[in-house]
Structure formats: structure tokens, C-alpha cells
Amino acid sequence: MSSTGSAIVAVLLVISLALCIAPSQGQLHKNLKYYETLHAKDLSHRIEKRGAKHSNHPFNTIKEVEFRVLGKNFRLILHPHSSVLHSNFRAYTVDGNGSESIVHLDRSNFFKGRVFGEMQSHVSAHIDDGVLTASVVLPDETYHIEPSWRHLPHTTDRRHMIAYRASDIKFSWDNVESVSGELGGVPKTCGYVKEGLELEEADDDDRETAEDDSETTTPSSVWHADDDDERKSKMVRRKRQADQYEYTPTKTRCPLLLVADYRFFQEMGGSNTKTTINYLISLIDRVHKIYNDTIWQDRSDQEGFKGMGFVIKKIVVHSEPTRVRGGEAHYNMVREKWDVRNLLEVFSREYSHKDFCLAHLFTDLKFEGGILGLAYVGSPRRNSVGGICTPEYFKNGYTLYLNSGLSSSRNHYGQRVITREADLVTAHEFGHNWGSEHDPDIPECSPSASQGGSFLMYTYSVSGYDVNNKKFSPCSLRSIRKVLQAKSGRCFSEPEESFCGNLRVEGDEQCDAGLLGTEDNDACCDKNCKLRRNQGAVCSDKNSPCCQNCQYMMAGVKCREAQYATCEQEARCTGNHAECPKSPPMSDGTMCQERGQCRNGKCVPYCETQGLQSCMCDIIADACKRCCRQSINETCFPVEPPDVLPDGTPCIQGFCNKGMCEKTIQDVVERFWDIIEEININKVLRFLRDNIVMAVVMLTALFWIPVSCVIAYFDRKKRKEDWKEYEWSQKLDLIHPSDRRRVIHIRVPRQKITVARM
């Protein structure tokens, strides 16, 4: 092949690879409107306090972590926290043959705490090799920080993180095609299963409860219409003895078995067992807070109970696909595609589930219809199966343990879900296990966005930003309350942690000085978390930003800096209270983050202040300039005068650095094999349709490049022959070089000639 032909092929190969790679660079923008990156070196760590005496107290180390991101300074006050782990917690890794190996876990890397100066804040964090995974909850906003390698495949430095606001999360169905082919379809992202309906209906003692639930959704309407045949199939059951369990208020923890299949281990855990385990523990810790803060009651005017949550008793991580014999099925086997309901049933065959309140499978499979999770629903009826504390169940020759559910980290885009989404999906599936079906479409339980938005158990995905998204609806509260009262006594356990000494003022505590308080060495707070009023203490320095030397600070002392990212002015102590008052909003028109303007206490981006929409320019020359567009279907254009984006801002092919968009593309070979593994006819057709011009060029090139190479070969051969012909014509040789082999040489014997002399 000529050098020209080789160059053409190389250029086309690079172009085609670039087209395939490009979508992965911006895939996170389908989930987030805006995010920023930070590096582990941007975090400042220090030990704030230690006890005067040697102590094994869990709060012996108080850690402060400071950093700046999203236009805001964060100062996290953290203490070790592993209460979500059972005292007999064990973690195992399992190979393809089923052999278990115990994994030793460092519990000191898990933290809880607050933001300094924000008494209504809450922080849940995990720090591994300097990399922070955290959820920071403030009164008006929630911030998330997590490793970037899970969502930005080009990231080679595993010490990078992404940070984003909950308000920047996009609805997961914004760009989903409906059945009619139009945008705006809403996929059902969760299903649930009810088994053993005949047993429930036969329970005469629970007729009244059955009447209350007579209008609940049946499995066929929850799943697919063709599920009626399966539901009506013959099932073999064994009659069980109904046990009586009294509700025990002190048993408030549901012991969990968490299982990660090999796909989850590879994708969300980065093929690292401890990373996988740490991710699951952090996730459950955040979900536990949602449940623990919920008051379970029938009516708002009725006294309920709270403090119900989870504790992790065992984690199993599959590092390899499970090897099975022909005809057998295992939830961790190699299979390209699973029906989500079939997968849950196979997972429910595991005998070990009987030792736990709930068992949950985490996978990275992409299910049909955008399904992100599935779970068996709990019921308050004594003979019912499914959900928490359920007895075994027999179906089609198998013993099933229906205290199970599953969730996937792969959404309908084929992308990994972000932390916020994973929290809500898992909390939603646990809600089914605890007895809640989907919220009915009535104003009380499915209000509009203006009334707080959908609740956690809504049929479809929730964004996580609306007020109600992390709350249970009145319908769910009523259903779950009945199940907890009927069954929690069977398998729930008592919490194993004392709360006094965790630096958070809770319950009837007046203060909490952490380790110093428990050692009775704090000047303001005693070991029982009570103020030393007999010594004149009116507040605690450890808990209140407007407290100094156990007394209120003078009025006018600044206790909170101005926050331009959230359009909040600085706050100052009042002189008669220990807490920092709420910051007043900045006046409308004040410049805030990213050239935006404050309006009604919110920072409105620059483009929106001009009646436009913020977007990202896809032309390399403009990639690191601020861009806007008229509407979602219009082209992005840079604003005038040009406004260069700050370093580290995401751009079309990487991140901005000194006004230039630096390309960050993952290894070409790795990406090539990703394409081969994930390729299917639908993706090919969609690619050809979306890139019609390039598709025509590439298909034409596939034909003409080989033809051109053949023609070039014969042309080169002809030129060589013509040159040889020319060289021969310039010589005195009468025989053409090609004729030499046809010339016959005859040797004539020499004759001796005699010359006569005269």
C-alpha cells in the first residue's frame, strides 16, 4: 500500500475512534447540570482534638477536613462512626468456585459529623487514601463528593473526585423516548413482587387488614400484563405455624446481608474488594439516616415511633463469575442478559438469607425498561411471605427466602448511577421490603412539585431534590407502620451504640463535647452531656459557633462568611443565643458564582439572567468559553465579550486549563474493546442515523480504500516496467532483457587456418 493510502486509513481510523470515544467524555452531563473536580491534595486534614488520657473511646480522634469547591468553603468536623456495622460484622470475597476469604476492614475510615458553624448540618463521609466520599446536608442544599473514576472513564489518577449539588441533578427520564418515539417518556424504574397471595387470603385472623389493602396493586399491574399466567401457575407450598411476636420498641435495627456480584465488583468497586465494601457501607449509612429520621405513624396528629433503621451484619463480594454446571442457574453466573424478576428469584434461593432481616443484591446489569430495582413486598399478615422477617416459601420445587431485593448501578442510558440516585433506589427497594407498595396517584401521597414533589415510594424515579423525595408519603407510613408492629420483633435487633460522646446534640442532651466530655475534662459539658450550669456555663464551645468560654459571644461577632455560591450574606451572633442565625439573602442583582446574579436568595446562572439557557460549546476553540443557547434544540454560542471559564471546569473533551480544553481520553485499546463488548445492531443503526454524513464517508471509504490500493499496486508495477523499457532503449544492447532467456547460444568450434607461404 502506498504511503498516501496508509495515511488515509490512519486518519479514518482516528476519526472513527474519536466519534466512538466522544460520547463517553460528556456522559456525566446527562446526569448533572454542573459539577466540579477536586484532587485529594486540595483537602486539608488535621486532628483537632485528642483526649488528655489514653483512651479506646471511638471518638478519640476528631478530624477536621477543609476544602473549597462549588464556590463554597467547607470545614467538616468529623468523628469515627461505624454504628451501621454489627458487632459481629464480617466481610468476605468469593471466587468463581465459591471459596470464601475473609476481608479485614478498617472501621476508622468511616465518619459522621457536621459543618462547622451549621448546627442543622449533617455529614456522612468515608476517607480512603485521602479520597473523600461524602454527603453534606445543609438546610438549603445537599452536596455530594465521590471518586471521579466511577463516572469519568478517562480518569487515570484515582485520587480525583467530583462534587455536585443535589439541585444540579437532572431527572433521569428527561431524554427518554416514550413508546410513541417522542421524547419525554417516563420509564418505570422500579418494580415489586407479591408472592403467596392465596395464603394471605386464607388467613381469617387478618380479614380486616386484607380489606384495608383490597385496592392495592396486583403483581400483574405492577409488572407486565403477561405476568398473569405466571401468577396463576401452580405453586406448591407447605403449611406454616404462625408465630406470635410482640412489638419490641428497643429492637430498632434490621440486620442486612449485602451481596455484590462480579459486575458490581468490577464497575463500581474498580475490581478492588475493599473499595466495593466501603462503597456499600457508605451507601447503607446514608439510607439508614433516611429511615432513622422517619416518624412512623398512621396520622399526623397521632403519636408514632422513630429510630428504626439498619445494621450491616455481612457483606459478600464476588470477585469472579460463579462457575455452574449445565442447566444450573446462579445470580452471579456469566449471562449477557437477565430478566430482572428471574434474577431476583434465583438470588432468593440462597439458604443463608434466613439468618438476616433482609438480603440485597447489588449488580451492574442494565435491565429492560429502565428498571433499577426490584423487591418483594412485606405484609402485616401473619402467614404472608415477602419482605422483612419472612418465613421460607416453596415454589416450583425450590425453597425461596423472599426477604430479598436487588438494585442496579446501571441506568437506562447504560451509565453508572451517581451516588444520590443509588441512595434513593436502595431506599426505595427497602421501602418495598418494609411493606410499602408504590404511592397511589392521589393528592395526599403523590403531590405536585409545588406541594413538595413526589415521595420516595413514587412509581417512577425521583430527582432527590424536591422536598418530599427522601420522605415517605402518608400512605407508605401507614403501610410500613403495620408491618413493623407485626413483624419487627421476629428479626430486628437492638442498637449497639451509645450516642453521648459523638459531638452531636441529640435527644435530651444539652451539649456533647465528644471524648473530652466523656472523660469529664470539658469546661462546659459534663460526661452525661449536660451543661455545667452550676459553674455558670450557658452553652458549649464544642457545639455552638456563638459560644466562647461557655458564654454567649458578643453581638456582632461574625460567625459565618458570606457565601456567594448560595447568595447568603455573612451572619453575626446575636449576643443572646449560642447558635449562628440564618444568613440573610443577598440583594437581587448581586454578582454571584460564574457571573450569575442573585435573585430571591438564589444564584441564577449568567445565561438564565439573559433569558437564555446555559450549555457547553462543542467547538474546540470555544470549549472553554461561557456559552448559552436560545433553547434546548438550538446551537450553543459563546457570550460577548468572551468569558474564559476557570481551570478545572469540564469542557467538551476534558477539562479547561488556562483557557484551553485539554483532551483526556482513555487508552485507545481499552476503549476499543469496550466498544466491541457493548456493540449491538441497535447501537450501530443509531450511530449511523445520528452521523449520516460521516457514515456515508466511512462506508464509501470501506469500498474505495481496498480498490484504490489494488489500483495503486498495478499502477506502480506498470510504471516499473515502463522505466525498464526506457532504460533498454537507451542502450546499445540489441536484445531486450525480457528476451534474454529465449536466446539460444551455439558454440562454434574454432578451425585452424593454414596460410601457404609463397
β-partners of residue 145 are 134, 163
Distance CA 247, CA 270 (A): 42
Count CA atoms within 13 Å of residue 207 on its CB side. Answer: 2
The answer to whether residues 475 and 482 touch, using CB atoms and an 8 Å cutoff, is no
The one-letter amino acid code at 490 reads: R
Distance CA 240, CA 733 (A): 111
β-partners of residue 118 are 115
Alpha helices in 171-261 (DSSP H): 197-201, 207-212, 219-222, 227-231
Q: Is 151 annotated as a binding residue?
A: no
Taking alpha carbons only, the member of 689, 135, 153, 692 closest to residue 414 is 153
Question: Where does residue 556 fall: left (phi above 0), alpha (psi -120 to 50 degrees), or beta otherwise?
Answer: left
The active-site residue out of 118, 350, 421, 429 is 429
Q: What is the 8-class DSSP label of residue 403?
A: S
Strands 627-629 and 613-615: antiparallel
Q: Sign of torsion, CA 255 261 266 267?
A: negative
* Cell triple for 752: 585452424
Taking alpha carbons only, the member of 375, 413, 160, 418 closest to residue 279 is 418
Residues 6+ apart with CB under 8 A from 586: 562, 564, 567, 568, 569, 592, 598, 601
β-partners of residue 383 are none
Query: Could you give the C-alpha distances from 674 to 656, 678, 684, 750, in angstroms and in order?
Result: 26, 6, 14, 82
- Three-state DSSP class for residue 592: coil
* Cell triple for 618: 462543542
Residue with cell 416450583: 396
- Three-state DSSP class for residue 196: coil
Q: What is the 8-class DSSP label of residue 621?
A: G
Count CA atoms within 13 Å of residue 325 on its CB side. Answer: 0
The answer to whether residues 68 and 74 touch, using CB atoms and an 8 Å cutoff, is yes
Known catalytic membership, residue 429: yes
Count CA atoms within 13 Å of residue 606 on its CB side. Answer: 17
Strands 44-49 and 62-69: antiparallel
- Three-state DSSP class for residue 550: coil
Cα-to-chain-centroid distance, residue 145: 11
Distance CA 21, CA 153 (A): 10
Distance CA 314, CA 87 (A): 11
Strands 309-318 and 44-49: unpaired
Taking alpha carbons only, the member of 745, 727, 749, 748 closest to residue 736 is 727
In the chain, the N- to C-terminal Cα span, in Å, equals 77
* Cell triple for 437: 407498595
- Three-state DSSP class for residue 210: helix
Distance CA 309, CA 291 (A): 5
Query: Could you give the C-alpha distances from 640 to 45, 127, 589, 603, 646, in angstroms and in order?
Result: 41, 43, 20, 21, 17
β-partners of residue 598 are 603
Cβ neighbourhood burial of 360 (10 Å; 0-12, 13-18, 19+): buried
Count CA atoms within 13 Å of residue 248 on its CB side. Answer: 15
Q: Is 438 annotated as a binding residue?
A: yes
Active site positions, annotated: 429
Binding site, annotated residues for Zn(2+) = 428, 432, 438
Binding site, annotated residues = 428, 432, 438
